[in-house]
Amino acid sequence: MRCVIVWATWAVWQEMLSVLATKKIVLQTLDLAWSDRSAWKVIQTYLWPKTVIACQSIDFSHYDVALFAAGSDVSKEFVPRAIASWCRVIDNASLFRYDEHVPLVVPCVNKWSIWSASLIANPNCTTAIAAVVLYPIYQKFGIKTCIMSTYQAASGAGAAWVEELDAQLCAYPQTIDKYTVFPHALACNVIPRIDAVQENGYTKEEMKVVWEMRKIFADPDLAVSCTAVRVPTMRAHAESITIQTTTPIDASVLHEIRSNNPHVLVVDDPSKDIYPLPRTAQWTYPVQVGRIRQSLVFGEYGVDLFVCGDQLLRWAALNAVEILEEIM
């Protein structure tokens, strides 16, 4: 298998190479492409030193798969080129996610949709983390309604935001009010807006959860609502989720469902202070789930739960590499 990773940031680059190494994935070729400006730079990774090639000069016919980790602008220009050269594409950007001809894939949910596709979209991290946990419930009990409030890490907004939070925390308490990339100081705060505000008042991040959950579960009638909130954590997102099921659900059986799922780690003994935490979920592959409770609102037709997953891994790196594994 010959692969090229197109236009990742340094952080995502490292994550992808780390996941490829951890999973011992053998590739005939692995090239890294960036802007013309960055071409011929040598990226010293712990795997191997690698000379960056320029996006403009890529001959996609030399590759079997291109992993696009760029924004929608880069995807718009280069993804059609790759496909025209019979190079299959895994795209992290949101550009093609809502195209009805493009499968949106979380491998443990809908890997069947990968087989014949020349372009596969990688979902938003918030959706991917929830989908991994909710799909086994969806399969066994059916889900009618999903109401979510998030606790999202700075890394979801990019490296500059992590650096700004880090700088605010380092300076605490003196200069904690300094911020340039965040709209407000994030240290000692929570910011209830992520991405652009849509006409209906929800943010794009919130609507991504709605649109993508429906598409991944292939259920356009799924009722989903989300309030997306940035909190001062570094790289793991947490989500408080209430679901209403179509058939009765017993909170106690969920423990068993989870324990047979390698993508999920049940951490649910709250009286012993065992529950999902951003600081224990970061840098790990499984999505943590805990605080599983029979719903006080939907009764036997619902549960409340709390999940936590490393957003950089789940979104950009791990999910994309899992799709690559399926293609291989």
Buried b (16+ CB within 10 A) or exposed e, 104-122: bbbbbbbbebbeebebbbb
Closest contact distance (angstroms) between CB of 63 and a copy of itself is 39
Buried b (16+ CB within 10 A) or exposed e, 223-238: ebebbbbbbbbbbbbb
Structure tokens at 12: 């995502």
Closest contact distance (angstroms) between CB of 241 and a copy of itself is 9
Question: Pick from 45, 240, 261, 284: which binds a copy of itself (CB under 8 A)?
Answer: 240
Contacts made by residues 71-76, CB under 8 angstroms, sequence distance 24+: 74/6, 74/7
Q: Which of 135, 77, 32, 120 minimizes the C-alpha distance to 321? A: 120
Closest contact distance (angstroms) between CB of 166 and a copy of itself is 8
The residue (of 203 and 319) whose beta carbon lies closer to a copy of itself is 203
Q: Is 273 in the site for a copy of itself (CB under 8 A)?
A: yes
Active site residue 170: no
The span from the CA of 63 to the CA of 154, in Å, is: 34
The residue (of 105 and 222) whose beta carbon lies closer to a copy of itself is 222
Find the part of the chain contacting a copy of itself (CB under 8 A) among 36-44, 64-72, 146-154, 312-320: 146-154
Question: Pick from 73, 166, 250, 325: which binds a copy of itself (CB under 8 A)?
Answer: 166
Instruction: Kindly identify the residues of this chain, within the stretch 168-227, that bind a copy of itself according to CB under 8 A.
Output: 169-170, 172-173, 183-185, 187-193, 196-197, 200-203, 210, 223-225, 227
The span from the CA of 154 to the CA of 169, in Å, is: 12
- How many distinct helices (H) and strands (E) make up the chain? 10, 14
The span from the CA of 110 to the CA of 229, in Å, is: 28
Q: Is 284 in the site for a copy of itself (CB under 8 A)?
A: no
Find residue 234's DSSP bridge partners.
none
Closest contact distance (angstroms) between CB of 269 and a copy of itself is 9
**Positions marked catalytic:** 125, 237
Q: Which residues bind a copy of itself (CB under 8 A)?
A: 145, 147, 149, 151, 166, 169-170, 172-173, 183-185, 187-193, 196-197, 200-203, 210, 223-225, 227, 229, 231-234, 238, 240, 242, 251, 270-271, 273, 275-279, 290-297, 304, 306
